[in-house]
Structure 1
Amino acid sequence: MTPDADLVSEHARSADLDPDRIRVVITLPTFRRPDHLVMTLDSLQAQGFGHDTAVVIMDNDAAGLEGAHAAADWLTGSRLKGIAIVAHQRGNCHAYNAGWETALAEFPKLTHIAVIDDDEIAGPDWLSGLMKTAEKTGADLVGGPQIPVFADKALDGWRKHPVFTPHYQVSGLVPILYSSGNVLISRPVLDIMPRPYLDPAFNFIGGGDSDFYRRAKARGFAFGWSAEAAVMETLPSRRAEFSWLNARSLRNGAISAILEKRQWPGIPGRARTLIKSLALLAAAPVRGVRLGLETGSAVIGLYHIQVAVGRLMAEFGLVNEQYRNPESN
């Protein structure tokens, strides 16, 4: 299925791109980070991919097009071939959907899609690590760690905060994934899952990836983790500020409640979610003290309370759209 031309348009492509040779496509959403986008692309090219790998860059700023212009310039001189597109509808779910749809439409022999974000740098074994874990475990979707790297090294202590901590430490099969910032997805998942892949309802709050994974798990797909397939996520100093950490923690709680209500619909399901939220709130002080002692930070220790409060706020429709104003994110 070709993406709707009114919603997705092509901005540039490598002159000698041969779609029939491509088996793996790296999709790279971008929004007003042209300089870091080039750094991300450079880190991909440094891995020495063969002619069976391409990149699709999705600029989600149809007005400014900084990412699209930077990608077009980069593609003219790169060994890694690809396409730069513009996703005209604002929102990260729209950007991801545009990239995945374009990859499927452009590359008929595609076997896998990988995802990296425009604030990340691929480690030397990034894609090979994801692919090896998929082959070894048979997992349909494989994730890897996003290692936080603060621009101000004095803030590295905040890497202990749960919002920055990888969900798993050891490679192998895992129950489920949570982030789309570092993931490999096999073709059968894309062929079977209904479209749009990521629900636009999550465009500005986040969680569209978690919702997608839950639905994929319900259809029987398996998940894996590759500890070797790391990306380094560049973090601005504001992400160590209490206001940002509080907003992200509350948002995490809200997303968990929203996803559970989708999983357990109706009045019984809502009651079940509310009871769980109240139970988590009751347990949060003890868990918080333990976390604060482990990390040496009272602010980090607040995380479990913030998550529980965020879940309760979601019961009343109070969800922070943290991605609505990207400059403050």
Structure 2
Amino acid sequence: MTDAITIERISPDLDFGRYEVVVTLPTFRRPEHLLKTLESLAAQQAERRFAVIVMENDAQGREGLAAAAALFETSRIPGLILVAHERGNCAAYNAGWQTALERFPAMRYLLVIDDDEIASETWIERLVETAETLAVDLVGAPQIPVFEGDGQSRYARHPVFTPHYARTGPVPILYSSGNVLIRRSVLEAVGAPYLDTAFNFIGGGDSDFYSRCREKGFTFGWCAEAPVHETTPARRTEFSWLNARGLRNGAISSIIERRRRGGPADRLRRLAKSAALLAASPFRSARLAFDTRSPVIGLYHMQVAIGRLLAEFGLVNEQYRRPEQN
């Protein structure tokens, strides 16, 4: 995997041994928003020293690298920028996480934020405090959508936009890598590649990673006080995108179950489970539509159930294959 990583910028006189916290930030063709994300990191009210690794995932265009270079060259942001030459979000995460482990020997906590998100000023402190207070290995936190257009009024209660948990405390598992803390010991135990690159363009590499972490006995927590605000373009409130996301979420659950339990008898059990979910989905969807006063939102449970069943026959939508449509 090292051959797929090129370190392009390092802050002058960076002392790699000083940093307890390393924030990893993948980017792909969002240079303007990347700068907003980095500004939110520069504004952190953090007692702990932290460094930032930006993972540029467009090896040809390198717009993110060009936009962020000055912040690192002047040491306004301590850390480095690398190019992850293999395309895909899992490949970008892997490049950043491997580099963090190799370059920062004092790192205890690795944090992740995406290039369409803005961190609250106490984001780092709240995540680390929660990990230490709850004595857990991984901590997730809310990704609050900031909709363009009228999406806020129409889709704020859609399951794809609502946080998985409401209160700070231990939780059974996490689902998203867009706002998370991971202890160094977790990465060392799981080993590279941390995210399976088979999920590069499907999504779900983070869910698969968390599933493997749980199998190894690692524990999870939630920090309601460490939100990031995620810019949500109007495209993501169109029916085609919402439908594709629901189908994809169903497919991911089927794929992960198949990877954990892949025998012939297991397949029959999965098919039976998928069929049962499909049979129940019209009733669940009707309830969701009633609760949210939105027929479009209500379709989500049916979309997930259909996506699960389609995945059993190899029909999976690669929603991230065409980034301009995402």
Q: Same fold per TM (> 0.5)?
A: yes
Matched, 1:284 2:281: yes
Does residue 314 of the first structure (1) align with residue 311 of the second (2)?
Answer: yes
* Aligned counterparts of 1:260 and 1:248: Cα–Cα separation in 2: 18
TM-score by length of 1: 0.97
* Cα distance in structure 2, aligned partners of 1:184 and 1:92: 17
Q: Is the 8 A contact 2:51 2:79 kept in 1?
A: yes
* Separation of aligned partners in 1, 2:122 and 2:152: 26
Distance 1:36 1:201 in 2: 27
Of residues 157, 177, 181 in structure 1, which corresponds to 2:178? 181
Displacement of 1:216:
0.5
Letter in 2 for 1:318: L
**CA contact 1:53–1:80 (8 Å) conserved in 2:** no
Q: Does residue 196 of the first structure (1) align with residue 193 of the second (2)?
A: yes
**Residue of 35, 39, 49 corresponding to 1:38:** 35
Most deviating of 264-273 and 223-232 = 264-273
Counterpart of 1:253 in structure 2 is 250
Q: Which amino acid aligns with 2:280?
A: A
Count, aligned residues: 326
Q: Which residue of 2 aligns with 1:59?
A: 56
State the alpha-carbon separation in 2 of the partners of residues 183 and 156 from structure 1.
27
Secondary structure at 1:57's aligned position in 2? Answer: strand
Look up the equivalent residue of 1:287 and give its one-letter code.
R
SS of structure 1 residue aligned to 2:181 = strand
Aligned to 1:136: 133
Aligned partners of 2:148 and 2:14: how far apart in 1?
35
CA contact (8 A) 2:151 2:237 kept: no
Give the 3-state SS of the residue equivalent to 1:185 in structure 2.
strand
Q: Distance in 2 between matches of 1:156 and 1:136?
A: 36
Cross-structure match for 2:93:
96
1:54-93 pair list within 5 angstroms: 54-93=51-90
Q: Does structure 2 retain, via aligned residues, the 8 Å contact 1:49–1:80?
A: no
| Aligned residue number for residue 275 of structure 1 | 272
CA distance in structure 2 between the partners assigned to 1:169 and 1:47 by the alignment? 24
Shift of 1:297: 0.2
2:130 alignment partner AA = T
Distance 1:156 1:12 in 2: 42
Q: Give distance in 2, aligned partners of 1:95 and 1:154.
A: 29
Contact 1:141 1:185 (C-alpha < 8 Å) held by counterparts: yes
Q: Given the two structures, how large is their TM-score scaled by the length of structure 2?
A: 0.98
Counterpart for residue 232 of structure 1: 229
- Partners of 2:46 and 2:125 within 8 A in 1: no
Quickly say closer, same or farther: Cα 1:170–1:51, change in 2 above 3 A. closer
> Which runs of no fewer than 5 residues in structure 1 stay unpaired?
none
For residues 51 and 16 of structure 1, do their structure 2 counterparts lie closer, same or farther at Cα, with a shift above 3 Å needed? farther
Mapped pair 1:148 → 2:145: yes
Q: Secondary structure at the match of 2:156?
A: helix
2:269 maps to a residue whose letter is R
Aligned to 1:170: 167
| 1:273, distance to aligned residue in structure 2 (A) | 1.0
Q: What secondary structure, in the 3-state scheme, does the structure 2 residue paired with 1:72 have?
A: helix
Asked whether the 8 Å contact 2:47–2:125 carries over to 1, the reply is: no
* Residue number among 23, 28, 35 corresponding to 1:26 in the alignment: 23
* Matched residue, 1:222: 219
Among candidates 107, 112, 117, match of residue 110 of structure 1 = 107
Native 8 Å contact 1:288 1:304 kept in 2: yes
Deviation at 1:13, TM superposition (A): 1.2
Question: 1:127: Cα distance to partner?
Answer: 1.4
**Structure 1: which amino acid aligns with 2:110?**
I
Q: Which amino acid aligns with 1:28?
A: L
- For 1:164, what is the secondary structure of its paired residue? coil
Q: Secondary structure at 2:308's aligned position in 1?
A: helix
2:119 corresponds to 1:122: yes
- SS of the equivalent of 1:176 reads coil
Partner in structure 2 of residue 262 of structure 1: 259
CA positional deviation for 1:151: 2.1
Q: Percent identity?
A: 60
Root-mean-square deviation over aligned CA pairs: 1.2
Alignment-mate amino acid for residue 303 of structure 1: Y
Shift, 1:153, TM fit: 4.5
Alpha-carbon distance in 2 for matches of 1:152, 1:16 = 44
1:202-228 deviation line (CA, Å, top 9, x unaligned): 000000000000000000000000001
Amino acid paired to 1:304: H
1:1-12 aligned within 5 A: 4=2, 6-12=3-9
Distance 2:161 2:103 in 1: 35
